[in-house]
Structure 1
């Protein structure tokens, strides 16, 4: 897939989705997609006809590009966040929705929705997340999740193709290395 400039919006609103894309974002990340209908709404707002219902009046980026709608449909990245146990329970039907590029299992909110606040490492949580990722991968869709130094290889071996790492661990390790180099 490469690298995309993506924006996490704050709600699953068709207007917010297409306006964010019209302003120049190459992709959107939509939180708390819990049902098939909510996933279909993301596609409706994020893709032009015949796939979706995104408004035909393009922003400046479409001027002079005769096949802009086709290019935009092909290049726009739609990521939905599977971050609630409700979404996990509905995952089979959510995975029936075409034109979602990444089904991203977000562990923090997911754990919280299972009653494990600040406990993403709980065995029940990690098992459920692993099962969700396996379902996504087995369906032929692209799975994504958060990773860190301790689980990146595990997720890559599972077939997770969209890995997101926070900067905290990198910065802490880089700072330690910098100090160690400076003291030697």
Structure 2
């Protein structure tokens, strides 16, 4: 039996098209998965780092996503432990997003727990949502999971990681270099100045490392600057593009609707 859900990031990248991601931060309700798919997203950024979502919430979201054909990727908390990271992958995540990387050793450790031999040392188990819990051979499990069921996203959001980006990109099993725009900008001293040459140069440096070593570039935190995203996609080669999260979209949409309703009263906008 083949994996139940295609890895839309890898599939789209093979066609030289971007893979869009919807962020989930506050909603454990699986209805959000179908809303994201109906909205046209290809994948999910399920955040367990800056959120109250639990590993059980992630489990249910991932299972629903796999059934719906929208690829679930999960960001784990900083220093959560290898056991937690492995559980996230076992429970249905098709990729793990690892924050606060400070160099090649951090990246190698993340890959080691995420990939089966020969790429890593992940423990063999059985009964995976990725295959709709059907029994499969360990050989098939290892091969398919390493290839498309355990995409490793190494976040480039520290000065240390940026300086070592070429070496990190060269590591076997490192699939995606994901720029965390806010943290990276904060570390290099350009937070808030998204047009700063130093920040744009950092994005270009990540893109060049990805192209050199045949890895994918991802970008998060810049959905409010489509002009920069366009440059990152078309010039630097980014393929995984993280959009807004559920909380931001609800607030944005709610505010627009509230202002629209108030504008209907003669005299324009008035607050109660």
Q: Same fold, TM exceeding 0.5?
A: yes
Instruction: Note if 1:151 corresponds to 2:206.
Output: no
Q: Give the one of 185, 190, 198 matched to 1:111.
A: 185
2: CA distance, partners of 1:174 / 1:152: 25
Q: Counterpart of 1:162?
A: 240
Alignment of structure 1 residues 55-134 onto 2, 5 Å: 55-61=123-129, 64-66=135-137, 67-74=140-147, 75-134=149-208
Instruction: Note if 1:19 corresponds to 2:87.
Output: yes
Scaled by the length of structure 2, what TM-score is found? 0.58
Q: C-alpha displacement at 1:59, in angstroms?
A: 4.8
SS of the equivalent of 2:171 reads coil
1:29-78 C-alpha deviation (Å, 9 max, x unpaired): 00012211111111110011222101123355565112222222222211
Q: C-alpha displacement at 1:143, in angstroms?
A: 0.7
Q: C-alpha displacement at 1:154, in angstroms?
A: 1.4
2: CA distance, partners of 1:139 / 1:117: 29
Scaled by the length of structure 1, what TM-score is found? 0.83
Q: Counterpart of 1:5?
A: 72
1:122-146 C-alpha deviation (Å, 9 max, x unpaired): 3322222222222322332111113
Contact 1:82 1:104 in 2 (8 A): yes
- Choose between structure 1 and 2 for higher RCO, CA contacts under 8 A separated by at least 6 residues: 2
1:53-104 C-alpha deviation (Å, 9 max, x unpaired): 0112335556511222222222221111000111111112111201122101
Ranges in structure 2 where 5+ consecutive residues have no aligned partner = 1-6, 9-42, 44-70, 265-272
* Between 18-27 and 63-72, the greater mean CA deviation after superposition: 63-72
Q: Counterpart of 1:51?
A: 119
**Greater Rg, structure 1 or structure 2?**
2
Ranges in structure 1 where 5+ consecutive residues have no aligned partner = none
SS of the equivalent of 2:242 reads strand
SS of the equivalent of 1:50 reads coil
- The root-mean-square deviation of aligned C-alpha atoms, in Å, is 2.8
